A = this chain, B = another copy of it.
Amino acid sequence: MDGDRAPVMADVARIAGVSHQTVSRVLNDHPNVRPRTRERVLAAVRELGYRPNAAARTLASRRTRTLGVISFNTTLYGPACMLYGIEQAAREHEYSVTVAAVGTLDRYSVLDAVDRLRDQNVAGIVVIAPQTAAVGALANVPADVPLVAVGCGTHTALVSVAVDNEAGAELATSYLLDLGHRTVHHLVGPRSWLDAQEREAGWRAALEKRGAPVPDPSAGADWTARTGYEHGRRIAADPEVTAVFCANDHLALGLLRALQQAGRRVPEDISVVGFDDMPEAEYFGPSLTTVRQDFDELGRRALRALIELVGDPDAGIPASGERPHIVIPPSLVVRTSATRPRPRTESPT
């Protein structure tokens, strides 16, 4: 007596008095099953507590209901949120997701992650790939696995979902300009990131559009508060600066701190605007005016795009060679870290 092995399809079939194929049909929502038969099968399924074997299913059908997510450092707020959004959406569509984190977004790591995921027979992959190198690498992956990039800028050759970084940066910069600042300085994110590049471009565009002088931006090596702090010390020492747009909120936090330590008041002496609207931004000192991007939504949209691709592999590859880009507009969240500049004290010329 083997007894309590997990029930298989044949067991269900026996109990329901049908063939295993009919059971399969019921389970896969095939048409042409008489309602009464369906009922009997479902009853048997319940009675036995039968659960289909995913491996057998994949083996036979050559399809899985699992999706892969490649992510760089899921520890950052943005990626973490997107991952969350993706998982949620996947669940709604009855997909499960397996993640492959990569330490660095270089060509090799990314390709390796793709391989690991393909070994799992994932039906498709979402890449949270904000760096230039990663996007380049992605062009090399065989086309047999649908791929969607998220948060990777809008200029890639892939199906992509991204927030409109340039628009967001323009929003922030124009806001500061409208407040009366002669110009706006910019604390750039790491330039290897598309987001950083695009935000810088948006900032520059906004300045030029208004004929405002374009100061040399200072570029950070990473997105951390530490880096923001280091650059902040320099910025604090420059009396010309009255407004700074930071490429993200962490950078802004570091900047805020440096400014405060240098005795420069925000927003009275210097206005600061960030980017991301992380949950803590509201509680910085002072609360941070920033550009909000809806990471969650980004993740969800990316997943939806992927599912469409999975269902119809050609959807992403129109004859023209162009790929659809979904762009989500960011919005400005006004809080208290930016205000009108003080009237300039006339300096003797």
Contact = CB atoms under 8 A, between A and B. Distances in A.
Contact of A101 (B87, B98, B284): B87
B120 A54 contact: yes
A66 interface: yes
B55 A64 contact: yes
B121 A55 contact: yes
Interface centre among A77, A80, A117, A119 (most CB of B within 10 A): A80
Given A59-B59, A282-B226, A283-B257, A98 B97 contact: yes
A206 B94 CA distance: 49
A245 interface: no
A240 interface: no
Given A59-B59, A87-B101, A225 B54 contact: no
A116 interface: yes
Contact of A51 (B54, B119, B229, B284): B119
A74 B64 contact: no
Contact of A256 (B66, B119, B285): B285
B119 A54 contact: yes
Interface in A301-349: none
A77 B81 CA distance: 11
Interface string A29-57: 00000000000000000000001111110
> Within the oligomer, what is the number of copies of this chain?
2
Contact of A84 (B75, B91, B283): B75
Chain A binding surface SS class: helix
A66 B283 contact: no
Interface in A220-243: 224-226, 228-229
A250 interface: yes
Contacts of A115: 51
A280 B101 contact: no
A254 B283 contact: yes
A192 to B, nearest CB: 20
A53 B285 contact: no
Contacts of A250: 279-280
Interface residues of A, number: 53
A128 interface: no
A283 B55 contact: no
Interface string A55-92: 11011000010100000011101001101100110010
A288 to B, nearest CB: 11
Contacts of A116: 91, 96
A23 interface: no
Given A80-B74, A96-B120, A101-B88, A283 B53 contact: no
A102 B75 CA distance: 18
Nearest to A61: B55
B59 A84 contact: no
Interface string A183-194: 000000000000
